[in-house]
Structures are given as structure tokens and as C-alpha cells.
């Protein structure tokens, strides 16, 4: 039985790859340092083993499992990866499995994310949630008529709910039954909190502790800066979400019951559904006109807008704001997120109020207070929730352009918002400012922005722009609608906003599949999807001479 090991002689130029025979004998123990073996943490002992495990492929039809010592990867189903025991070490069984069991084990490894990059597990988790939601919404019990909705409508709605977008090809209030609406709310909650976040919380609740693999997956999804304490962070995220949703649900329930005469059960149902949809920036509403009937009601618009803002700030920023109210003690992430969020909200409100003040289809019939409230609500929703209290199709083209920009920027990182994120937008502004000033480095708040972070910001913006441009060209060829409405629809889907000019239901099936792909890519992130689809990670152990090019 032989295996090819990329880590043996990898990176040495001109040398053929070496072949090492897998042996059942335990590997020699690592040399002890002055601190002893306990000086190395479990993560450091298994980190290299985990890296090597991803580069070793077994080529034996027997699928035998060599017994390994502590810290040595084990071979399961044709792939090598370490299995952590209860004592924190790595162990493997010496039993032999048939080749069919090895294949099934490999498939299970792909589904569960074992031996894979955490980003790939995140992508698979969201895809699995979409498939489960499609099956639920395709059931006859999910529709008001008792007939199957069809795979196209079920898939589109499930993707929109899991990706917390809000675009719909059917009327959410009239087409789906109570079962279907509850399924949509659950999909929104799962998609907003995150697949790996909920899985990590469940694992911690059952076993009482988290494995390193679970921590890495949760870190990849929540964008946490450190792996340590990720279990407590996940629990705080879930608790914070439930508390915010409960507060908004209570306010909305009281307003529906006392202000609009809804029965208590119906008022609670409406309050909970729209609180979940608002905090997770989904934008699903249980009225055919969305929230246009409440355009001048501050008891409906303001709680929903506040929930959208809090959910769109990002959990790290929200937690820091709760811990400290002094801006001087805030981190750079919080200062950029809060500052740019306030600037974008104020600028968007002024742009909508000024552009739609005399428009008879939007703000024209309202009084001054109603115009300001509607303008503020219209500025909040592109950050990135699909609620609308104004007729989007009746807006001026200039307001569409403002909405496009706000949707593209999106909200805060590590939250429920979409877009390229305000932190990315802020870094781009600082990079441009540093270049205009002729500074060799990008300084933000007495800190230098690293080159890797700058490359990520540029890559996210470039990839997002390319995806939007290409998708707009394709969708424009598939539909007879104007370019500005098609661009609006594409940005709304990619930024997981959910606002629409009213063309979603008229898009042909091929265009709907394109919108589904845009919603999925926009939710998991271009870089996350790219790293998940990468064949392998390569490290270069040499540097090439620098070459200066003419720019501009």
C-alpha cells in the first residue's frame, strides 16, 4: 500500500516527488523541548498533521487503517485526517474496512467538512439548507391552495430565505400557507444566524465542548478574528439575536393588536415573523404591498428599521457597543462601521427626500414628517433588507442609482447584511486618500493597514463588480426590461437586499436560476466561495524580483 505525500520534498525545485510506504508502526516521537511535550498546545500539535492530511491520498483498494500514535494522521475512506479523542489526542482504529465503506466515509467527510477547508463546509451547509427548504416548500401543505408550488418557485423562495434576500416570484402572503410561512421564517433564522453557527451551538450544548474543526468552521462563518473563545461568541450571537427579535416582536405585536385591531394570536404571528425578517435583513412581509400601507406609521417603520440597522452592523460591533459607549475606546472596526453607517444613512435620507419630494407616486402625497420618515426608511432598507414603504417602481432614476450604490456597499461585517460591507468600502476610501497624499502606507487611526487586507478589499470589490456586470449583461439578454431595472435587480440579488422594481416574477426560468446563483454567491461571499472551490493551498518559498508598471 503506497501513498503520495506532497509534503515530502514539496517546494524543492527539480526533485521528483517521493513515495513513502504507509506503515502500521507508530511514528517516532517528536523531540521534547525544555518545557516538555505539554508546552505545545493540542492545536499546534495537530495543525501540521491536519495540513499534511489534506495533501496525502491513499491509493490502496483495501482501505486499511494503520494504527497511529498521538499526533499522527489516520487514513479513513481513502483520505488522511486526524481524529481527536476525548483526551485531546489523535487516534485511529486498526480495523480494516471494505472499499465501499471507504467511499461512503469519504462522502461523509465531504458533507461534514472533515479534512476540508472550513469555507467549503460553510458553502455545503448553506447549499444543504437551501435543498431542505426547497423540499419543505414544495410540499402541498406549504401552499394556500393545497397544491405543490413547483420546484422553481420552491427553490427560488428557499434560496431567498436562506440567503436572507427577500426577492420572491410569488406573493408571500397569498401563495404560502401558515406552514409555508413558518418554514420561510425558520429558513430566514437559520440563514441569518448561519449554518455553522447553529451547528457549533448544538455541538457545544450536546457535548459540552467544541472540537478544533467546529471552532474553525464557526470562525470562517462568523468572521471571528481568533479561534479562542469561539464557543462563547457563538452562544452570545444566538442570545443577542433572540433578545433583539423578541423586543421588536413585542413592539410590533402591541401595535398590530392595539392600533389595527388584529386578534392577539394573529398580532403575535405578524410581530414574530416580521421581527425575524427584519433583524436578519430578509425583507419578507405578509402583505401584498410589503409595508407600503404603514408608510407613515412610526410604530411599525422605526422598530423594523432599528432591527435592520442593528442586525446589519455585525455582531462584533454590536457587542462592543454594548460593552463600551465611549467612542475613544472602540476598536477600528467599530469606528469605521458606525461612522460610515451614519454617513450613508444620512446621505441616503437626504438623497431620497430631495429626489422624491414632489414625486406623486412616492413622497408627493405625504406631509413633511411622513416624507422624512419614508425617506429614512428607504435609506435604511438597502443596508440590506428588502422591505419597502414606497413604490420602488415609481421612484425617479436618480433614486434607483442611489439605491444601487447603497445596496452594493451593504452593511457591517460578520452580521446579517450583504454587499461588499462598509469596512471594505471604508478601506478603499482610505487607500485612495493615501494614494492622493502620496503616502507609502495606508494609515487608519494610528494603525497601518496590512497589504493582505488591502488585497482582500480590492479582490472583493473587483470580483463583486465583475459578477454584477456579467450577470447584468446575461439577464439583459434574457429579459425585455430596461438596463437600469435589470441592473437594480442584479445588485439586489447579489447584495442579498430583496428590493425589486417589480420584474422578478416576469423573469424567465433561466433568469431566475441566475438570480438564485447571485443570491447564493452574495450570501456566502465571493472569497469564501472561491477558497472553497480552490483545489489546494500552495505556498511559494521564493520571491520574484519586483517590476514596476505604468498605472493610469
- Per-residue pLDDT of 352-361, as tens digits, reads 999 999 999 9
Model confidence at 80, pLDDT cuts 50, 70, 90, reads very low
Helices (H) and strands (E) in the chain, counts: 20, 5
Per the CB < 8 A criterion, the answer to whether 213 and 220 are in contact is no
pLDDT 10s digits, 13-38:
444 444 444 444 555 544 444 434 43
Calculate what percentage of the chain has a pLDDT beyond 70: 69
* CA gap 430, 433 in Å, rounded: 5
pLDDT band at 66 (very low <50, low <70, confident <90, very high): very low
Least confident of 102-111, 172-181, 475-484, 506-515: 102-111
Which region holds residue 417: left if phi is over 0, alpha if psi is between -120 and 50, else beta?
beta
Strand ranges of the sheet holding 2-5, from the earlier edge strand across to the other edge: 19-21, 2-5, 56-58, 79-81, 74-76
Grade residue 4 by pLDDT with cuts at 50, 70 and 90. very low
The region that residue 13 occupies, defined by phi over 0 for left and psi between -120 and 50 for alpha, beta otherwise, is beta
CA-closest candidate to residue 353, choices 382, 381, 374, 380: 374
| pLDDT at 346 exceeding the cut of 90 | yes
**Mean pLDDT, range 485-512, rounded to an integer:** 94
Burial class (CB in 10 A: 0-12, 13-18, 19+), 196: buried
State the pairing for strand pair 56-58/2-5. Answer: antiparallel
Residue 510: CA count within 13 A, CB half-sphere? 7
Task: Name the β-bridge partners of 90.
Answer: 84
Peptide bond preceding 521 in cis form (omega within 30 of 0): no
Higher confidence at residue 121 or residue 98? Answer: 121
DSSP secondary-structure letter at 100? Answer: H
Res. 10: pLDDT tops 80 = no
What is the rounded CA–CA span in Å between residue 116 and residue 125? 13
In this prediction, residue 537 has a pLDDT band, given cuts at 50, 70 and 90, of low
Query: Lowest-confidence range among 18-27, 75-84, 126-135, 399-408?
Result: 75-84
Angle at which helices 230-259 and 264-279 pack, to 10 degrees?
Answer: 140
Residue 377 pLDDT exceeds 80? yes
pLDDT tens per residue, range 516-526? 999 999 988 76
Identify the CA nearest to 103 among candidates 163, 43, 62, 68: 62
Measured CA to CA, the distance from residue 265 to residue 256 in angstroms comes to 10
Instruction: Point out which residues pair with 96 in neighbouring strands.
Output: 64
120 Cβ contact list (under 8 Å, min separation 6): 113, 531, 532, 533
pLDDT in tens, 111-129: 444 445 566 777 888 899 9
Query: Where on the phi/psi map is residue 11: left (φ > 0), alpha (ψ -120 to 50), or beta?
Result: left
| Integer Cα distance of 128 and 120 in angstroms | 12
For the chain, domain boundaries: 1-25+42-81+95-102, 122-533
pLDDT in tens, 304-335: 999 999 988 888 888 889 888 788 888 888 99
The residue with greater pLDDT, 11 or 272, is: 272
Residue-level pLDDT at 483:
94
As a whole number, mean pLDDT of residues 373-386 equals 93
Which residue, among 102, 100, 98, 99, has the nearest Cα to 74 in the 3D structure? 102
Gyration radius of the chain's alpha carbons? 26
Q: Give me the mean pLDDT over the 63-84 stretch.
A: 36
70 Ramachandran zone, left/alpha/beta (phi>0; psi -120 to 50): beta
Amino acid at each position: 500500500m503506497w501513498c503520495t505525500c506532497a509534503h515530502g520534498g514539496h517546494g524543492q525545485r527539480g526533485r521528483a516527488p517521493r513515495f513513502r510506504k504507509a506503515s502500521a508502526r507508530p511514528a517516532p516521537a517528536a523531540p521534547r523541548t525544555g518545557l516538555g511535550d505539554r508546552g505545545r498546545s493540542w492545536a499546534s500539535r495537530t495543525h501540521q498533521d491536519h495540513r499534511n492530511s489534506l495533501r496525502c491520498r491513499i491509493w490502496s483498494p483495501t482501505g486499511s487503517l494503520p494504527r497511529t500514535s498521538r499526533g499522527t494522521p489516520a487514513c479513513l475512506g481513502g483520505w488522511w485526517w486526524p481524529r481527536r479523542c476525548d483526551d485531546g489526542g489523535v487516534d485511529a482504529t486498526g480495523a480494516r474496512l471494505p472499499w465501499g465503506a471507504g467511499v461512503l466515509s469519504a462522502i461523509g467527510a465531504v458533507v461534514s467538512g472533515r479534512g476540508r477547508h472550513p469555507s467549503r463546509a460553510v458553502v455545503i451547509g448553506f447549499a444543504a439548507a437551501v435543498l431542505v427548504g426547497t423540499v419543505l416548500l414544495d410540499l402541498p401543505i406549504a401552499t394556500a391552495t393545497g397544491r405543490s408550488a413547483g420546484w422553481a418557485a420552491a427553490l427560488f423562495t428557499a434560496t431567498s430565505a436562506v440567503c436572507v434576500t427577500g426577492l420572491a416570484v410569488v406573493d408571500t402572503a397569498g401563495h404560502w400557507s401558515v406552514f409555508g410561512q413558518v418554514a420561510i421564517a425558520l429558513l430566514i433564522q437559520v440563514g441569518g444566524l448561519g449554518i455553522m453557527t447553529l451547528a457549533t451551538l448544538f455541538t457545544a450544548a450536546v457535548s459540552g465542548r467544541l472540537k478544533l474543526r467546529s471552532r474553525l468552521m464557526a470562525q470562517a462563518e462568523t468572521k471571528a478574528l481568533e479561534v479562542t473563545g469561539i464557543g462563547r461568541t457563538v452562544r452570545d450571537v444566538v442570545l443577542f439575536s433572540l433578545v433583539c427579535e423578541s423586543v421588536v416582536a413585542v413592539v410590533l405585536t402591541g401595535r398590530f393588536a392595539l392600533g389595527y385591531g388584529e386578534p392577539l394570536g394573529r398580532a403575535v404571528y405578524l410581530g414574530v415573523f416580521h421581527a425575524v425578517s427584519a433583524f436578519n435583513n430578509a425583507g419578507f412581509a405578509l402583505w401584498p404591498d410589503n409595508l407600503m400601507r404603514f408608510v407613515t406609521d412610526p410604530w411599525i417603520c422605526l422598530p423594523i428599521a432599528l432591527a435592520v440597522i442593528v442586525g446589519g452592523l455585525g455582531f462584533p460591533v454590536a457587542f462592543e457597543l454594548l460593552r463600551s459607549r465611549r467612542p475613544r475606546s472602540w476598536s477600528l472596526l467599530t469606528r469605521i462601521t458606525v461612522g460610515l453607517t451614519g454617513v450613508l444613512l444620512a446621505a441616503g435620507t437626504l438623497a431620497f427626500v430631495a429626489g422624491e419630494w414632489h414625486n406623486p407616486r412616492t413622497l408627493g402625497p405625504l406631509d413633511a414628517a411622513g416624507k422624512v420618515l419614508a425617506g429614512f426608511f428607504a435609506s435604511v432598507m438597502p443596508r440590506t433588507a428588502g422591505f419597502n414603504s414606497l413604490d420602488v417602481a415609481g421612484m425617479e432614476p436618480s433614486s434607483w442609482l442611489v439605491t444601487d450604490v447603497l445596496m452594493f456597499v451593504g452593511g457591517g461585517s460578520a452580521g446579517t447584511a450583504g454587499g461588499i460591507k462598509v469596512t471594505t468600502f471604508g478601506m478603499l476610501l482610505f487607500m485612495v486618500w493615501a494614494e492622493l497624499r502620496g503616502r507609502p502606507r495606508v494609515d487608519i487611526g494610528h494603525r497601518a493597514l496590512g497589504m493582505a487586507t488591502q488585497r482582500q478589499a480590492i479582490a472583493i470589490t473587483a470580483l463583486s463588480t465583475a459578477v454584477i456586470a456579467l450577470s447584468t449583461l446575461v439577464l439583459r439578454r434574457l429579459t425585455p426590461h430596461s438596463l437600469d431595472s435589470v441592473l437594480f435587480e442584479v445588485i439586489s440579488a447579489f447584495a442579498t437586499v430583496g428590493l425589486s422594481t417589480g420584474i422578478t416574477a416576469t423573469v424567465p426560468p433561466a433568469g431566475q436560476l441566475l438570480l438564485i446563483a447571485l443570491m447564493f454567491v452574495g450570501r456566502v461571499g465571493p472569497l469564501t466561495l472561491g477558497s472553497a472551490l480552490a483545489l489546494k493551498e500552495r505556498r511559494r518559498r521564493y520571491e520574484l524580483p519586483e517590476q514596476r508598471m505604468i498605472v493610469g
